Amino acid sequence: MQTNKTEIDHKIIKGCIKGDLKYQEMLYRQYYAYGMGITLRYTKNKEEAIEVLNDSFLKVFDKIRMYNTNQSFRNWFRQITVNTSIDHYRKSKRMVPTESYDNYDQQSSALIESNHMDAEDILKLIRTIPEYYAMVFNLYEIEGLDHNEIAEKLNISVNTSRSSLSRAKKMLRELFEKQNYTNYVGAV
């Protein structure tokens, strides 16, 4: 009889609760790629994403006894990783946009030269807008938080959350349109 993924996860989690390094390594390997996908959305480069992910795993191992086995481990892990990403941002940056969003276009010129966009291109595009706006965009569009929740997490007003999301979407729309225009001109 073949064991299913949930049974394997529970066995790994039980080992982690006991502090067994072998099981911690197994959990780390199993959720590394998933966690990296999350942290890359909230950081500017891979090195910073790895740092945030490692901090996330340390929190997971520290709080694993608090995990409710009736809920999805993947969702619990995602929440810790997103919160760790936000904490990292708060520690390293001011929570107000320090860059003029009119200047974001300079960073994106290299992306606009390619002929198509895949998931990695979209991620790179999001990284070209100021970090603050990317944070609000990710929390709203990808994590599904509402403006009240974003305001609470980032210690900003609800109206600031709304206007920041609007600006982020405008920046991304302009970059996307520029990408499509370049592709069209290149094809002619």
Q: Which residues contact 76 (CB under 8 A, 6 or more apart)?
A: 67, 68
Domain match, 88 and 101 both? no
Q: Is residue 118 over pLDDT 70?
A: no
Q: Is residue 102 over pLDDT 90?
A: no
Residue appearing with tokens 């709304």: 162
Instruction: Give the total number of structural domains in the chain.
Output: 2
Q: Is residue 131 over pLDDT 80?
A: yes
- Per-residue pLDDT at 109: 39
2-41 confidence digits (pLDDT tens): 446 677 788 999 999 999 999 999 999 999 999 999 999 9
The last residue of one of the domains, among 92, 116, 132, is 92
Distance CA 99, CA 68 (A): 41
Domain match, 37 and 87 both? yes
Domain match, 84 and 59 both? yes
Lowest mean pLDDT, pick from 104-113, 121-130, 172-181: 104-113
Q: Is residue 113 over pLDDT 70?
A: no
Residue 10 maps to which CATH number?
1.10.1740.10
Average pLDDT over residues 74-83: 95
Q: Is residue 77 over pLDDT 90?
A: yes
Q: Is residue 140 over pLDDT 60?
A: yes
Q: Output 54 or 104, whichever has higher pLDDT.
A: 54
Domain match, 60 and 101 both? no
Q: 135: closest CA among 34, 38, 33, 36? A: 38
- Per-residue pLDDT at 147: 95
154-186 confidence digits (pLDDT tens): 999 999 999 999 999 999 888 888 776 555 444
**Which alpha helices (H) appear in 18-118, and where do they start and end?**
21-42, 46-63, 73-92
The last residue of one of the domains, among 52, 74, 92, is 92
Domain match, 39 and 112 both? no
Assigned token pair, 125: 């595009």
- Per-residue pLDDT at 39: 95
Looking from the CA of 124 toward its CB, the CA atoms found within 13 Å total 15
Percentage of the residues of the chain whose pLDDT score is greater than 70: 78
Percentage of the residues of the chain whose pLDDT score is greater than 90: 56
Overall pTM > 0.85? no
